[in-house]
Amino acid sequence: MENIFLDIGMIMIIATVLAYFAKLFKQPLIPAYILTGIILGPVLGLVTNTEVITTLSEIGIAFLLFIVGMEIDIRKLKHVGFVASFGGIIQIVSVCTIAFIISLLLGFVVLESVYVALIIAFSSTMVVIKLLSDKRELDTLHGKIIVGILLMQDIVAIIALSVLAAINEFSFVALSYSILKGVIALLFAVWISKNIFPSLFTFAAKSQELLFISAVSVSLLYSILFNYLGFSIAIGAFIAGVSLANLPYHIEIIGKIRSLRDFFSVIFFVSLGMELLLSTFNSIVKPLIILLLLVVIVKPLIIMFTTSFFGYKKRTSFLTSMSLAQISEFSLIIVTQGFLLGHISQEIFSLTILLAIVTITLTTYFVKFENVIYFRFSDLLSIFDRLTGSESELEYMPRKKRTEIILCGYNRIGYSIVKTLMRLKKNLLVVDFNPEVIKDLIKHKIPSIYGDVGDIEVLERLNFKKVKMAISTVPTKRDNMLLIRAAKKENKKIAVFVTADHIKEALELYDAGADYVVLPHFLGGEHLSLLIEDFTEDISRMIEHKINHIKELKERHTLGHEHPQHEK
The C-alpha atoms of residue 510 and residue 503 are separated, in whole angstroms, by 11
pLDDT confidence of residue 101: 94
Q: What is the DSSP letter of 79?
A: G
Beta-strand runs (E) in 307-427: 395-396, 405-408
Whether the model clears a pTM of 0.75, i.e. scores above it, the answer is no
What residues does CATH 1.20.1530.20 cover in the chain? Answer: 2-385
The C-alpha atoms of residue 297 and residue 322 are separated, in whole angstroms, by 9
pLDDT confidence of residue 562: 45
Q: What is the CATH number of domain 392-559?
A: 3.40.50.720
Tell me if 30 sits within 8 A of 269, measured CB to CB: yes
pLDDT confidence of residue 530: 60
Question: What is the mean pLDDT of each successive set of 10 residues along the chain, which is 568 residues long?
Answer: 75 91 80 85 76 74 75 64 84 93 91 91 84 75 84 80 66 69 79 85 85 88 82 78 79 78 80 74 83 93 89 84 87 78 82 86 86 80 67 66 84 74 84 79 84 76 85 84 88 87 84 84 62 60 65 59 42
The C-alpha atoms of residue 77 and residue 541 are separated, in whole angstroms, by 37
The C-alpha atoms of residue 411 and residue 417 are separated, in whole angstroms, by 10
Fold for domain 2-385? Na+/H+ antiporter like fold (1.20.1530)
